[in-house]
Amino acid sequence: MEPLNGNALDSSAIVAVIGAGAMGAGIAQVAAQAGHSVLLYDNRPGAAIEAIEGLDRQLGKSLEKGRITQAQREETRGRLRSVDAFEDLADARLVIEAIVENLDAKRGLFARLEAVCSPECVLASNTSSLSITSIAAGLQRPERFLGVHFFNPAPLMALVEIVSGLATSKAVAASVYDTVKCWGKAPVHARSTPGFIVNRVARPFYAESLRLLQEGAGDCATLDALMRDAGGFRMGAFELTDLIGHDVNYAVTCSVFEAYYGDMRFQPSLIQKELVDAGRLGRKSGQGFYDHGPNVPRPVIHELRSSQRVEGCVVEGDLGIADGLLPRLEAAGIVVTRTHEASAQLPSTRSASGIIRVGDAVLALSDGRLASERAKSDALNNLVVFDLALDYGKATRIAISCCAGITDVAREQAVALLQSAGLVVTPLADLPGLAVLRTVAMLANEAADAVLQGVASAADVDLAMRKGVNYPVGPLAWAERIGLANVLAVLENLQAAYGEARYRPSLLLRRLVAEGGRLHA
């Protein structure tokens, strides 16, 4: 009989969780709160009992905060039972493993489970990095094995990656997907490839900030502020890796890099390696990119200010996604004159965008070229390029880079214009794509490759990045807001600037731009 027979697991079915650490205990809590009797096993004597007692304390805190009732606490606690012997798992309908990330250990575990559990029992691993196909290779019935990757903490994080190996039955994957959805989670389907969805697609978020830091674009606090205040991310890369732990984040990057045979898109950072080598692992060690000791002053975020007064500006051509700046300017009393035909000085290429003229200055949304390179190529004196924002109507900060030879007066005029829109202006060195734009373009590029290679659908990739790592918008939906042709142009300009395969555009982006298609139906 096909495991689960293509249907969601009934709440009367027994779920077993192996591994009573933080992740295993969290998964057990999720299943118990959904109505299942849950067996918790750990090979460390007393660990499962301690984990259940800890869960009960957590439920008590939830009760105090009014999140659950006393009855719900008692019902959930009553469904959790520790077991000491493998044989006690025989009646489980679904077994989820959450032990150490070691291939041999997991293979050995599932070989034992296969000998104990019924043929209809589904076996699942919570692995975040190991190949599902590889773990299942020695099983007699690999079709009933799959990955069920929860994110930490499991009771709070919505995303669960349902990962199919080469032999995983489609019916099994669909059943577990529906089961996890009934548990109140947001499941996504993924194929077993290195990093699955989230740990693969998220790599550029860290990598681009690390590269900008290495190249002197700005300091950690300034770059983090831009990702938050302009990009809409909850944290910048440096504060986030300090929170995750550099040993963990660096190890994941190295794992993905090695799994893709040294593909430069996933190249680890020497800056982060140095922190790991020094034992500066972030919050847990007290020092990482930031000093987390007591009474440490907040780091300074670099800003530009102008005392000039701006009365009006002229917009030539279409600003695209940056058009949201204009209502803010008009609300501040700036007279905005629009010229819908692009200036004769602008090249008639797909990478061209509209410009804003204010006094001697010219402002333009970055297209991935150096400000100085673009100023020379497009014959735009006193050019100031500005960065991407999630929402130009609501952003509180914007980054700019200035071309070589810009006059002080022109720089002041550009800053004054952006200030009048209520934006804090942050300077970056003249580097391709600034901060938010190059990061989002690279996230979208990696996401597009994941779709192209059949790892997941576009909808599931975007859902995974929103629910798994709290991105404000899925990278593919964001790319469509910017315009796929514009994203492609940014990537091509980044690749030209660096001369590296790291920035090669996805074939899917090229195809969709050529066809005029969309990533989402």
User: Any idea which residues carry the catalytic annotation?
Assistant: 128, 149, 161, 199
CA distance 49 to 35: 20
Cβ–Cβ < 8 Å for 454, 469? no
Which of 307, 253, 317, 247 is closest to 278 using CA atoms? 247
Token pair of 59, please? 């439920």
Q: Please state, in angstroms and as integers, the Cα–Cα distance from residue 349 to each residue in 28, 242, 314, 509, following that order.
A: 56, 42, 21, 17
Burial 270-280 (b: 16+ CB within 10 A, else e): eebeebbeeeb
What single letter denotes the amino acid at residue 312?
A: G
Q: Please state, in angstroms and as integers, the Cα–Cα distance from residue 462 to each residue in 192, 208, 471, following that order.
A: 18, 20, 9
Partners of 453 in the beta sheet?
none
DSSP letters spanning 386-446 = E---S-TTT-SEEEEEE-TT--HHHHHHHHHHHHHTTPEEEE--S-TTTTHHHHHHHHHHH
Prior bond to 432 cis, omega within 30?
no
CA distance 446 to 453: 11
Cβ–Cβ < 8 Å for 124, 94? yes
Cβ–Cβ < 8 Å for 511, 519? no
* CA-angle at 396, arms to 491 and 424, nearest 5°: 90
Alpha helices in 117-217 (DSSP H): 132-136, 170-182, 198-201, 203-214
Residue bearing tokens 């019916």: 171
φ/ψ of residue 410, rounded to 5: -65, -40
